[in-house]
Every structure is written in C-alpha cells, then in structure tokens.
C-alpha cells in the first residue's frame, strides 16, 4: 500500500516538474525497498536520487545517495563499486563540514572493509581490509568525541554511536586474533548501553558477544549472555531469536533434550514470529530425529542397520551444526562399513565423503584431507566419482595455508580431476574442471598458467549448446531432516499446548464445555475407564477434550493405569492424544513411568508400544531400579508361580520375554537377580533336606493351571489394593489363583463414590500407598544371599537358608557363568570365606581381574559379623577403568594372560604400552583384546617377542590408532604381507615405528599405501629395498629414520621428492652416503632441523661445510664415524645462527680451534674418545 502511494506521488512530481519534491519521494521509495530487502529496486531509486541531487546542486543529499548506493553494493559483495561510492560520500560530507555524517561515513566504510575481509579469507588476504576497517572505526570514534564536546546532538545519541563502534571494533579485533582486546571493547560497549538504558543496542551487544564466546568455545559465558539478551528483549521476534541462538548452541554441544524443550516452546508459539517459524521447525525436526535414532541405536545389534542409523544421525547432527557429534556418528558408520569392506565398499566411500565434508564445514581442513585422500583411492574405474573426489580434495587443500608442498599436491589433484573428466567423455564435466582449475591458478597468482587454458575453455564452451557454467555438486545440503515427522503429533508439543491452554484461564475451558470430575481417590472418569478397559468411554472422553495427563490424588495418570493393566488399545489411544510416555507420576509415585508399570506386570505388547513411541528405557525409579531390574523381578516372581504349577508358560511366552530382555540388556546393566533356570540345590540333597517352613504351606492342593497373562491380570488387580505391598512374600506366594482378590474399585465402592468438582482439594491418604508396580523389596522370611556389583557386574543367585549339607551357587558375570557347589560347614564364616575365595579365584583365572565383593541383604544393607556374614576380603589392586595403561616390563612377575583378559573391561583405554612384556605365543589372546579396545589410539609393543605366528593371529588393529610401535620384534619376512594389510587399514596413523624388525619389504604399491596422515616413520635397521621405502614416504612426513637400511632413496629416483620437503628430523646413519648425496639431500629438504649422518665413511668435510651453511641453521648435525676432519674450514663459511647449532663430528685436534671460530668464540668443545668432538654454545 505504501509503495503504491509513493509511486503515485512520484508520477505526480514528475508531471509537475518539481525536482526537489521528486528527489525526496525517490529517496523515500528507495528506503522502503532497502528495508524490504529489494536491493535491485532500491539501487534504481537511489541512482535516480543521485542524479536529481546533482541537478539540484545539493551536496549533502548527493553524498547521502552515494552512501546508500555504496551500502547496497556492500550487501551484494561488489566491494570495488561500494568503495567508490562510499569514498565520494566521505568526500562530500567533509566538504559540507557535517560532523554527524562524517562520523557515519567512517562507520559505513568500516563496515564495508569488514565485509570485504570476510570475502578475502579464502585467499588469505583479509588482513589489509581488516586494518582499513579498524582505521575507519577508530576515526569514527574520534569524531564521536568531537560531537560530544560540541554538543551538536544529545549525549544519549553519542553514546549509542560510541557503543556501536566499540562493538564493531571488537569484532574486527576478534578476527585479528586479538581476543582479549576484542572482548574488552565489546564489554565497554555493553557498560555504556547499560548506563544510558540503551536496551536495544545492549540486546545486540549481548548477542554479538555471546557469539564471540561461542566461537571461542566459552559456552558458559555464551549461555549467560544469551539469557541476558532474552531478558532484555520485549519484542517477540527478538526474544525468539535469542532463544533460537541458545537452542542452536545446545544442539552444537549435543544437548538434544534441553534444546528440544526450548524449541517445543517456540514451536507452540511460532505464529507470533512467522519470520522465524521455518528455522524453529527445522531445528525441532533435527533434535526429534536425533532423539529417535539414538534410542534405536542403543537397542540395535544388526551391523547394517546400525550403519544406517549412524549415517542418519550424522546427517541430522551436521544439519544442526553439531559437527563434532556428526563426525563421531560418521566414524561409527565407517567402523560398521569396514567390518565388511567388500560388501560395503560404497558405504565406506559414503562415510569417508561425509567425514570429509563435515570436517570441512567445521574448518578442520587438514583432518578432512585425510578422509578425502582415502576416499579418492576407492574410486577405481568410476571416472565421474574420481573426478568429484579429486576436485573436493583440491578444494580442501586450497583452504589450507599455502606452502610449496600443499600447492604441489593441489595441482596434482586438479590434474587428476581433469584426467578423469576426460576419461568420462563428459564435456560439461571437463569444462567445469578446467574452469575451477583456472580459478585456482588466478587465486595463487599463476596468471600465465591460467591464461594458457583460455583457448581450451573457449573451444569447449563453443561446442556445448546452451552452456551455463556448471557447479560440481558437493552433495546436497540436508534440509529435509525429519520432513516426514508431524510435529503437532509429538507428545511434548501437545503437552505444551495443553499447558498453554491451561494458562489462559477458565474462559477457554468454559468454551470447550468440559468439566473434570473426580471420585474420592482423585480419579477422573478417564482414569476409571482406563482401569476398566472401557475403550468406548475413553474414546468419548478424549473426543470431548478430556485432559490426557491428568493425575489422581496419588499422582498416577490414565496412561499409568492402562499400562499397569496391559490395556494396549487404550495405551495407543492415549499416546495418539499426546499422553506423556515418560511421565514420572506425582511426588508420591517414586519416578515410576508407564514403562516401569508395564514391565512390572510383564505386559510385553505394551512395553514394545511405549518404547516405539519414545519411552526412555534408561529412566530409573526413585529407588534406583531400571526398567530391566523391574522386568527381571517380575520374571522371578513368575518363575516361582510356574514351578508351583499355577501358571502356564509357553515357548512363545519365553521367546517374547527373552526378546525384550535382550533388547533392554543391550542398553542397561542389570542388578543381581535370582537365577531361574538352574536348580539351587542338588536333587539328591533336596529330597533329604529339612526345610524350616510349615508343612501345610507346601502341601496345599495345586490349583487348576491358567495362562500367564490371565494370572497376572488377576494378580495386578489385587496389587491395586496398595496394602498388598505390606504383606510378606510368604503370604503373597501362598495365595492360589482362585483366591478372592480385592479390586481397585469394588462394586460397593463404586456405588458410594461421589464425583466431585475439580476445584475441591484432594484428601490426604493416610496409608503409605505405593504403586502396584512399586519396586521396594519385601523382606522375606527366607534368609537370602546376594552379591552386589562393584568392580564388575557380578550377580549371584539368592539362596534359601536351608538345613542341608551342600549348596549350589550360580554366579553370572556379564557373559560368564560360574557354578559352585559348597559344603555347608558348622560355622557360617567358613561358608562366607569359601564362597568369596572360590568366586574371586574363578574370576581371576578367567579375566585377570581381582573382584571386590560385598554381600548385602535383600534390603541392600551390608551384612555385619553378627548377622551371619562379614566382609573379609578387600584388595587395593583393583583394576581401574582408565584411558592409559603403561607397563614397559616394569613388573617381571606380571602374568600376561591375566592382564590381556582383564583389558577386555577397559573399554575407554586410549593408550596401551606393554613394551618389554613377552607376548610370545599369545597371538589369539592379543587379537581378542585388541578387538575390544575400539577407542585405542596408541599401541606400544616394543620388544615384546612378537613373531610371525603371533602377528598372523591378528585380524585387525584398532582403526583409531595414531601411534603404532612394533620395534625390536622378530617379525621377519614371513610377517610382511600380514603387516602390510594391518597397516593399510589405519587411516589415522601418524607415527609408525618398525625399527629392527628384520624386514626386507612390505609389498606396498600405488594401490596399497600407508596412511596419508603419517608424520613420523622409523624403518631403521631393516634391509629395505629402495622402492619399498618410496611407497612409505608421505608428503607431510616430519620425522624419518632410515638408518642402516639402504642407500638413501632420494639419490636414486625423484618419485617422492616432495615427501622430503617437510622433513624436520632425518636419520641416515650407515647408509653409504657420499658428499654429493648429502648436497642433493639438502637441496630437496628445505625444512630440516636435525640430521644424523654418522657412520657414512664417504662423507667428508665438503658435506659438513654444506650442512653448516644450510639455512635455516640446523640445530643438530651428527657426522661421527664419517671421514675424520683434518683440514681447516673454508674461509668464507658462515653459520647463519650459531646459537642454535650443535655439531658432533670426528675431527683431529689440530684443526679444532679453527672450526670453533665459526661459533664466534661462543661455542665450547666437548672432547670424547676416538677423536669425537662436540661443538655447542655454552649458555
């Protein structure tokens, strides 16, 4: 409407020939377009304004028109045009001597330079525009001081200008890596705003400073600032924006649940902020998907499905900006795919691509290159994919700081991409590669090479009809995460909607025409309908708008009741209407969720349904019992009834029980439970045992058999009478199935129950009512024995205190079962000692761990001496679940078998050093142990007597290994093929030590190569062939030791010349080098710091002089054992920096002083036997 009005006024002004009025209208119209982000239309209007103002000879408005045109060009990235107009703006306002506009001109120029610096980051030329931005902002600040002195404008306006400039200067300093100064300036801006009540600007400053802290990973400070911004914001848009920023940070940190709470609240109120609604929905879908797939992953065992789940999780986390978590998920995907590399080759490639792209997004370019190189090797004959991979690698390399090594590899990657594009016969693809290569050459300043490609590019363009410059896709951004999820159907969304409705008061309730009524127990009609399995009544109540998560006086919801009774149809209805599947009940309910209820009653179908709809299986009751604990307790109860013949238990029942139990066990540990499959007492003993119970309790007539489901339906009805929990186990178990039970609401109670209005207060319950599925253990009249988990998950069955001669025990330790038969002695402490000693011995023999056992009663009370048993065994050498284990053969008496077995439980181990510990003959056990240590990053097995038989037993090495030390082991040539296979699968390997392993070749070639991430390699004292060494050399090698191998391969070929350019430490002792070899070596190794050349008899003073003259100056030169120096140094020989140089050489005493002068008299001579001399600065 406003636009149309201004257009009509513009036409009228044109018609009237009123140029001044036309200029004003054109400016208004331009401002309207600018605020609406219609940049093309705005630019057109401002350019027209510029012409009109020039006609009017209005210098100030002419300058302002230049400013607006410059700002549009800045926003569009046209910085040269922007700079031209903004410079004219500054010049114009200087001529008018308008200080306010001059201040604004410098601030606008500062913003333009700052935006330009962001565009220059890729080329590494951002420092110049950053410096210009800083100068402009500083000049603008000085003008603020003048404005304040002259009092041309109000003080509050000057403070606003100053605060904004301080903020912008702080942001510039942050990019310049001056973090402390940056934060100080921004905090000063915040103080100004706070002092002068500039809340709008203070809000922006809090948001900006929070982002600074977030980029520096100071997350606590960032959260505090976002919270301050939320409190300051009064407009819904700003408040929502700050809350979104907080949620995004939580997602970045992997705090899905907390982020979900914020996003659900924002989603419910999204209509208030329509511009932010798409962002809110996108983020909410991401956290919902991650929550779902993480839960699925915990329970999933199938490798293929786990791989898919990891991939989906990685995609979702990446879409949410949680790159660290995304990398973790994609690595999980890669591990799953590598378990069957032949079948999952495409999945391995996909995981590597995802890792590379995610690390690129996280700006971890060097690590991304590792995976990009690995993925490129898998492309084989797929020329299009190989081209794509090579281009991606080239892009990553171009993002790393330019060095000769990186530039060389980047050129190779572009050349490889071009080769594969040509082989694919896709002219468009080839043209795209040529254009990207040309752009790269222009970027690094190789304009001649770029211009040489013009003819080929133009020829290809002419041959392709309707050509548009193609973009090589990097993979579509995953904006469709969770697109199939109906957000309105989420239980927490519906709960938030219900809470929102409730907060709006009774007016809405009266409009809906629904009044909640309760009986004396606080139960609503929905509660009773759920208990009675009245499906139609439930449907009617829900349709009428009855609240779903309403509680009775004890705190139970309708879903609790339906789950407790196993009414699956009603459970489904309640979930469909938004019931909270993780509701913990009221304060008196002990944090019991509906899933706890279903588990305590053995309702398999209800449990599966609840888990399917997001029930959290990791939640525990107030008593600390998990879903699995409750489920196993129910099974134990059932087993007792089954043995008495009261319950039928079919194979199908057992199969379903085991399925759910195993699903829970994959996620949850279990508490000690009674074994149900093994007899507690030998049959020959049982017949003779004298039991301390009344005979009539065991001689009642067996009732008619009924199904397990029917029995427990009736049992739970009786459990609804909460007083049942106060009965002893004996009395409860002695009831027959046909015994009369007390229902939750009997007929008489139903007749007298009065329905009350909701506003009446609930009467307090006098009895200590507990849930029927309460998990408080009842104290039995049978003395029971249990062993609780301490160091290991140790479970022991409970034993009756029977008057017998021997007792059988079954002990379960994860997957290990121990069966013991102990004679019953006269004194109970001997029984305790024998039991503890036998269990500890068995565990130690099988795992190498020394278990720490504590006996407790069924009520979790530690047994005292006077209560039959006493804790008699404590060991201070318990194995600790740590990340680092270093032995180095320090304990000569160590038992390696026990140690290796015990390492099975060290799941978090990252560093393992067993150097000098003998592993001879332990290959299979070593293989089993290493397969359990998935997180291992360093493995040191130097001098462990590992031979070819041992190494052949290893299936693989932990894929995350960064350091591998197998030095001084007799691997021999028979191990070479296996060793190569083990090494080539280690994508992250950085340090490899194979010193003195009696190797000759490792059969590496262009297909089977070592990790591209390798930085340190030691092959010394192995008679390796030259070509074998070539394939082990990588471009980023820093440390290389080839002493006593062969003549240095750099002399014989130029295949890997670039590999030596990064070397800093080089050892080539005993390699038969000559002076020319050393000189050629120094020519190609441009970054050397230390070089060891001892025992090369043909190396003379000529080579030594070249080494001393090398720049940068070498910190250590060792030529001991080479030809003895007996001549004076060359007169023009100069050491660049003598203070860092140490020389070890063989030299006659008569020339020592002359060589010492090269250190300008500051060096000290250390004379050793056999004419060995050390020159070193004496500090």
What is the number of other CB atoms lying within 10 angstroms of the CB of residue 403? 13
Q: Please give the helix or strand (H or E) that residue 752 lies within, else none.
A: helix 747-752
Q: What is the distance between the alpha carbons of residues 565 and 548, in angstroms, rounded to a whole number?
A: 17
- Of the listed ranges 481-495, 599-613, 621-635, 907-921, the least confidently predicted one is 481-495
DSSP single-letter state for residue 1060: G
Over residues 768-786, mean pLDDT:
33
Over residues 939-943, mean pLDDT:
92
Tokens of residue 208, six digits: 């900006």
pLDDT tens for 1-10 read 688 888 889 8
Closest CA to 326 of 337, 316, 334, 335: 316
Q: What is the distance between the alpha carbons of residues 917 and 894, in angstroms, rounded to a whole number?
A: 8
CA 301 to chain centre: 21
Q: What is the distance between the alpha carbons of residues 838 and 836, in angstroms, rounded to a whole number?
A: 6
Q: What is the distance between the alpha carbons of residues 295 and 305, in angstroms, rounded to a whole number?
A: 13
What is the number of other CB atoms lying within 10 angstroms of the CB of residue 664? 24
* 960 SS3 class: coil
**Helix-helix angle 558-565:708-719, to 10 degrees:** 140
Tokens of residue 236, six digits: 């819904």
What is each CA distance from 195 to 141, 188, 230, in whole angstroms?
A: 19, 11, 19
Over residues 662-686, mean pLDDT:
50
Q: Which CATH superfamily is domain 880-1059 in?
A: Ribonuclease Inhibitor (3.80.10.10)
pLDDT tens for 791-827 read 333 333 333 333 444 555 556 655 556 665 555 444 4
Q: What is the distance between the alpha carbons of residues 1000 and 1045, in angstroms, rounded to a whole number?
A: 9
Task: Name beta bridge partners: 862.
Answer: 856
Q: Exposure of 282 by Cβ count < 10 A (0-12 exposed, 13-18 middle, 19+ buried)?
A: middle
What is the number of other CB atoms lying within 10 angstroms of the CB of residue 451? 12
Q: What is the distance between the alpha carbons of residues 1021 and 1042, in angstroms, rounded to a whole number?
A: 8
DSSP single-letter state for residue 209: H
pLDDT band at 1179 (very low <50, low <70, confident <90, very high): low
The number of residues in the chain equals 1179
pLDDT band at 366 (very low <50, low <70, confident <90, very high): confident
Most confident listed range (278-287, 630-639, 854-863, 1009-1018): 278-287
Q: Please give the helix or strand (H or E) that residue 897 lies within, else none.
A: helix 896-902
Over residues 1047-1069, mean pLDDT:
66
Residue with tokens 């902020």: 273
Q: What is the distance between the alpha carbons of residues 589 and 1098, in angstroms, rounded to a whole number?
A: 87
CA 943 to chain centre: 36
In the chain, where are the structural domains located?
Answer: 233-287, 288-463, 786-853, 880-1059, 1064-1179
Checking if the pLDDT of 711 tops 60, the result is: no
pLDDT tens for 333-353 read 999 988 877 677 888 889 999
Checking if the pLDDT of 995 tops 70, the result is: yes
Q: What is the distance between the alpha carbons of residues 552 and 573, in angstroms, rounded to a whole number?
A: 19
Class of domain 288-463: mainly alpha
Checking if the pLDDT of 533 tops 50, the result is: yes
* 891 SS3 class: coil
* 811 SS3 class: strand
pLDDT for position 681: 31
631 touches 664 (CB < 8 A): yes
Closest CA to 439 of 481, 469, 476: 469
Q: What is the distance between the alpha carbons of residues 596 and 772, in angstroms, rounded to a whole number?
A: 11
Q: What is the distance between the alpha carbons of residues 867 and 861, in angstroms, rounded to a whole number?
A: 11
Task: Name beta bridge partners: 822.
Answer: 807
Q: What is the distance between the alpha carbons of residues 260 and 284, in angstroms, rounded to a whole number?
A: 6
Task: Name beta bridge partners: 963.
Answer: 938, 991
What is the number of other CB atoms lying within 10 angstroms of the CB of residue 1055? 14
Q: What is the distance between the alpha carbons of residues 617 and 594, in angstroms, rounded to a whole number?
A: 11
pLDDT band at 565 (very low <50, low <70, confident <90, very high): very high
Q: Exposure of 921 by Cβ count < 10 A (0-12 exposed, 13-18 middle, 19+ buried)?
A: middle
Over residues 503-518, mean pLDDT:
51
Q: What is the distance between the alpha carbons of residues 639 and 675, in angstroms, rounded to a whole number?
A: 10
pLDDT tens for 228-258 read 999 998 888 999 999 999 999 999 998 888 8
- Of the listed ranges 347-361, 495-509, 900-914, the least confidently predicted one is 495-509
Task: Name beta bridge partners: 404.
Answer: none
Q: What is the distance between the alpha carbons of residues 10 and 1100, in angstroms, rounded to a whole number?
A: 91
Omega within 30 of 0 (cis) for the link into 1112: yes
Most confident listed range (650-659, 732-741, 1137-1146): 1137-1146
893 touches 920 (CB < 8 A): no
Closest CA to 1041 of 1011, 1068, 1074, 1008: 1068
Over residues 349-364, mean pLDDT:
91
Residue 46 C-beta-side C-alpha neighbours within 13 Å = 23
- Of the listed ranges 199-208, 661-670, 1054-1063, the least confidently predicted one is 1054-1063
Checking if the pLDDT of 509 tops 50, the result is: no
Tokens of residue 687, six digits: 């017949």
Strand order in the sheet with 794-796: 794-796, 806-813, 816-823
Q: What is the distance between the alpha carbons of residues 7 and 9, in angstroms, rounded to a whole number?
A: 5
pLDDT for position 760: 30
pLDDT band at 906 (very low <50, low <70, confident <90, very high): confident
Most confident listed range (876-890, 895-909, 983-997, 1023-1037): 983-997
pLDDT for position 313: 93
Checking if the pLDDT of 1153 tops 60, the result is: yes
pLDDT for position 87: 94
526 touches 557 (CB < 8 A): no
Q: What is the distance between the alpha carbons of residues 996 and 1000, in angstroms, rounded to a whole number?
A: 11
- Which pTM does this prediction carry? 0.49
Over residues 1111-1133, mean pLDDT:
91
Name the pairing type of β-strands 1163-1168 and 1142-1146: unpaired
Cite the DSSP H helix spans in 504-646: 506-512, 525-531, 535-543, 558-565, 568-576, 594-601, 604-612, 627-643
* 1074 SS3 class: strand
Q: What is the distance between the alpha carbons of residues 235 and 406, in angstroms, rounded to a whole number?
A: 50
Asked, colleague to colleague, whether 288-463 and 880-1059 share their fold, the answer is no
pLDDT for position 856: 59
Written as one string, the DSSP assignment of 392-417 is HHHHHHHHSPP-HHHHHHHHHHHHHH
Q: What is the distance between the alpha carbons of residues 812 and 814, in angstroms, rounded to a whole number?
A: 6
pLDDT for position 563: 93
Written as one string, the DSSP assignment of 599-624 is HHHT-HHHHHHHHHTT--TT---TTS
Checking if the pLDDT of 673 tops 50, the result is: no
Share of the chain above pLDDT 90, in %: 31
What is each CA distance from 720 to 278, 531, 1173, in whole angstroms?
A: 48, 10, 93
Over residues 107-120, mean pLDDT:
91
pLDDT for position 850: 67
Residue with more model confidence, 382 or 733: 382
Residues 6+ apart with CB under 8 A from 101: 60, 63, 64, 93
Q: Please give the helix or strand (H or E) that residue 914 lies within, else none.
A: none
pLDDT tens for 1160-1174 read 878 888 888 888 999
Tokens of residue 217, six digits: 């990973």
Task: Name beta bridge partners: 813.
Answer: 794, 816
Q: What is the distance between the alpha carbons of residues 341 and 823, in angstroms, rounded to a whole number?
A: 54
Closest CA to 206 of 230, 174, 176: 230
DSSP single-letter state for residue 524: B
pLDDT band at 447 (very low <50, low <70, confident <90, very high): confident
Q: What is the distance between the alpha carbons of residues 983 and 990, in angstroms, rounded to a whole number?
A: 11
* Biggest distance spanned by C-alpha atoms of the chain: 123
End-to-end Cα spacing for the chain = 83
Q: What is the distance between the alpha carbons of residues 113 and 125, in angstroms, rounded to a whole number?
A: 12
């Amino acid at each position: 409407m406003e636009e149309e009005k201004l257009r009509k006024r513009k036409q009228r002004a044109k018609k009237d020939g009123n140029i001044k009025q036309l200029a004003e209208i054109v400016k208004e119209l331009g401002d309207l377009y600018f605020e609406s982000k219609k940049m093309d239309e705005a630019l057109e209007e401002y350019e027209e304004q510029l012409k009109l103002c020039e006609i009017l000879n209005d210098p100030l408005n002419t300058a302002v028109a230049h400013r607006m045109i410059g700002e549009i060009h800045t926003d569009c990235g046209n910085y040269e045009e922007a700079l031209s107009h903004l410079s004219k703006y500054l010049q114009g306002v200087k001529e008018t001597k308008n200080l306010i506009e001059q201040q604004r001109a410098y601030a606008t120029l500062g913003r333009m330079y700052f935006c330009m610096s962001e565009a220059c980051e890729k080329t590494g030329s951002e420092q110049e525009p950053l410096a210009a931005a800083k100068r402009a902002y500083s000049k603008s600040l000085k003008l603020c001081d003048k404005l304040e002195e002259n009092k041309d404008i109000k003080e509050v306006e000057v403070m606003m200008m100053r605060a904004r400039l301080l903020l912008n200067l702080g942001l510039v300093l942050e990019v310049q890596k001056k973090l402390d100064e940056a934060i100080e300036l921004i905090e000063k801006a915040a103080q100004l705003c706070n002092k002068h009540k500039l809340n709008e600007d203070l809000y922006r400053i809090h948001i900006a400073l929070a982002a600074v802290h977030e980029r520096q990973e100071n997350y606590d400070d960032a959260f505090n600032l976002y919270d301050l911004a939320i409190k300051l914001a009064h407009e819904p848009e700003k408040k929502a924006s700050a809350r979104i920023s907080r949620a995004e940070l939580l997602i970045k940190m992997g705090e899905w649940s907390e982020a979900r709470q914020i996003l659900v609240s924002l989603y419910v109120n999204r209509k208030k902020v329509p511009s932010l609604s798409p962002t809110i929905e996108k983020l909410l879908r991401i956290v919902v998907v991650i929550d779902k797939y993480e839960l699925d992953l915990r329970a999933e065992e199938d490798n293929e499905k786990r791989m898919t789940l990891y991939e989906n999780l990685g995609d979702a986390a990446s879409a949410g900006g949680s790159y660290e978590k995304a990398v973790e998920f994609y690595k999980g995907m890669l591990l799953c795919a590598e378990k069957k590399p032949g079948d999952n080759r495409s999945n391995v490639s996909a995981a590597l691509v995802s890792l590379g792209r995610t690390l690129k997004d996280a700006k971890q370019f060097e690590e991304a290159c590792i995976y990009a190189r690995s993925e490129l090797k898998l492309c084989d004959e797929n020329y299009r994919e190989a081209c794509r991979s090579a281009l991606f690698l080239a892009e990553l390399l171009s993002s790393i700081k330019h060095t000769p090594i990186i530039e060389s590899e980047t050129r190779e990657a572009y050349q490889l991409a071009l080769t594969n594009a040509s082989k694919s016969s896709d002219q468009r693809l080839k043209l795209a590669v040529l254009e990207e290569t040309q752009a790269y050459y222009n970027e690094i300043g190789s304009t001649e090479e770029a211009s040489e490609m013009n003819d080929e590019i133009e020829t290809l363009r002419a041959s392709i009809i309707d050509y548009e410059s193609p973009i090589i896709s990097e993979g579509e951004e995953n904006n469709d995460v969770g697109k199939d999820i109906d957000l309105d159907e989420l239980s927490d969304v519906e709960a938030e909607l219900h809470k929102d409705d409730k907060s709006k008061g009774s007016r809405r309730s009266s409009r809906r025409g629904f009044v909640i009524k309760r009986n004396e127990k606080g139960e609503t009609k929905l509660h009773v309908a759920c208990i009675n399995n009245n499906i139609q009544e439930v449907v009617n109540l829900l349709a009428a708008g009855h609240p779903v998560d309403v509680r009775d006086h004890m705190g139970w919801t309708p879903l609790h009741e339906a789950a407790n009774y196993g009414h699956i149809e009603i459970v489904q209805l309640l979930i469909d209407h938004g019931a909270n599947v993780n509701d913990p009940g009221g304060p008196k309910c002990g944090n019991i969720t509906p899933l706890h209820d279903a588990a305590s009653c053995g309702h398999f179908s209800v449990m599966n349904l609840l888990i399917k709809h997001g029930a959290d299986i990791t939640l525990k009751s107030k008593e600390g019992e998990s879903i699995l604990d409750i489920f196993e307790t129910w099974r134990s109860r059932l087993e007792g009834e089954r043995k008495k013949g009261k319950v039928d238990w079919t194979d199908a029942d057992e199969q379903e029980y085991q399925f759910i139990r195993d699903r829970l066990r994959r996620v949850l540990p279990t508490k000690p439970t009674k074994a149900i499959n093994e007899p507690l007492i030998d049959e020959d003993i049982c017949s003779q045992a004298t039991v301390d119970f009344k005979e009539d309790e065991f001689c009642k007539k067996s009732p008619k058999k009924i199904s397990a489901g029917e029995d427990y339906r009736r049992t739970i009805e009786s459990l609804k009478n909460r007083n049942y929990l106060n009965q002893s186990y004996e009395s409860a178990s002695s009831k027959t199935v046909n015994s009369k039970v007390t229902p939750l609401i009997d007929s008489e109670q139903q007749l007298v129950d009065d329905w009350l209005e909701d506003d009446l207060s609930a009467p307090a319950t006098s009895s200590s009512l507990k849930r029927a599925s309460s998990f408080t253990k009842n104290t039995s009249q049978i003395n029971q024995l249990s062993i609780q988990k301490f160091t290991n998950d140790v479970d022991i069955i409970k034993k009756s205190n029977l008057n017998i001669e021997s007792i059988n025990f079954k002990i379960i330790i994860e997957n290990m079962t121990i069966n013991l038969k102990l004679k019953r002695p006269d004194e109970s402490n001997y029984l305790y000692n024998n039991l503890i000693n036998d269990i500890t011995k068995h565990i130690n023999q099988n795992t190498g761990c020394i278990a720490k056992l504590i006996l407790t009663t069924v009520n979790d009370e530690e047994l005292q001496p006077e209560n039959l048993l006493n804790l008699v065994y404590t060991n201070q050498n318990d194995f600790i679940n740590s990340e680092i284990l270093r032995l180095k053969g320090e304990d000569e008496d160590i038992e390696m078998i026990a140690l290796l077995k015990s390492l099975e439980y060290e799941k978090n181990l990252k560093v393992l050093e067993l150097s000098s510990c003998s592993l001879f003959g332990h290959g299979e056990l070593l293989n089993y142990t290493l397969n359990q240590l998935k997180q291992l990053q360093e493995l040191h097995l130097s001098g462990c007597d590992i031979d070819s038989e041992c190494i052949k037993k290893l299936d693989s090495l932990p894929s995350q290994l960064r350091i591998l030390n197998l030095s001084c082991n007799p691997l021999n040539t028979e191990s070479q093929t296996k060793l190569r296979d083990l090494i080539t699968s280690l994508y992250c390997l950085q340090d490899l030590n194979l010193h003195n392993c009696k190797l000759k070749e490792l059969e590496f070639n262009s297909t089977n190569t070592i990790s591209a991430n390798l930085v340190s390699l030691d092959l010394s004292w192995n008679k390796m062939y030259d070509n074998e060494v070539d394939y082990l050399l990588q471009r980023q090698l820093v440390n290389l030791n080839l002493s006593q191998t062969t003549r240095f391969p750099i002399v014989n070929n130029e295949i890997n010349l670039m590999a030596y350019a990064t070397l800093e430490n080089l050892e080539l002792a005993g390699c038969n080098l000559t002076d020319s070899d050393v000189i050629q070596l120094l020519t190609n190794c441009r970054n050397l710091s230390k070089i060891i050349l001892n025992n090369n008899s043909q190396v003379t003073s000529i080579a030594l002089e070249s080494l001393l003259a090398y720049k940068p100056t070498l910190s250590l030169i060792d030529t001991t054992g080479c030809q003895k120096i007996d001549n004076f140094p060359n007169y023009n020989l100069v050491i660049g920096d003598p203070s860092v140089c140490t020389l070890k050489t063989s030299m006659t005493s008569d020339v020592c002083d002359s060589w010492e002068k090269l250190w300008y008299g500051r060096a000290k001579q250390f004379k050793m036997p056999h004419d060995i001399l050390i020159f070193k600065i004496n500090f």
